[in-house]
Structure 1
């Protein structure tokens, strides 16, 4: 089982703060998870298909090709700016 969290406007657009998914043999990287979620429909594809999407694994920023394991926590969020 993996925990997926959505932050900022992604949370608002998807109307979902987080969810749990079973870790299947086809899910080896964060990119695999992202593609699975994008297949849910247009809103999912629009949100998670953004080129500048950021992701974290177990609260550490990472790249989409990061390998995942059972009980990992994945977060998707838009880029943030400081001021």
Structure 2
């Protein structure tokens, strides 16, 4: 499964994606925990946005190996 990063998250992690393999469906929360262990909690705060197959989802959403997952920082207006 490809995990994509966008905007400042991509810049801070110095990569645009990671490849992960899972034997069964996993939740976004589980993926986020793995990413926090790898990169640090500061990059994956509670308000980070996540999309699966181009649709915004929550942390309880289950994903399969063939899904496309993307994380990006929340958008702020001004």
User: Is TM > 0.5 for Structure 1 vs Structure 2?
Assistant: yes
The alignment's C-alpha RMSD in Å is 1.6
Q: CA deviation at 1:81?
A: 3.5
> Where in structure 2 are there 5+ consecutive unaligned residues?
none
Q: Is the 8 A contact 1:7 1:17 kept in 2?
A: yes
- Runs of at least 4 residues off by over 2 Å: none
SS at match of 1:71: coil
> Where in structure 1 are there 5+ consecutive unaligned residues?
none
SS at match of 1:19: strand
Scaled by the length of structure 1, the TM-score of the pair is 0.83
1:10 alignment partner in structure 2: 9
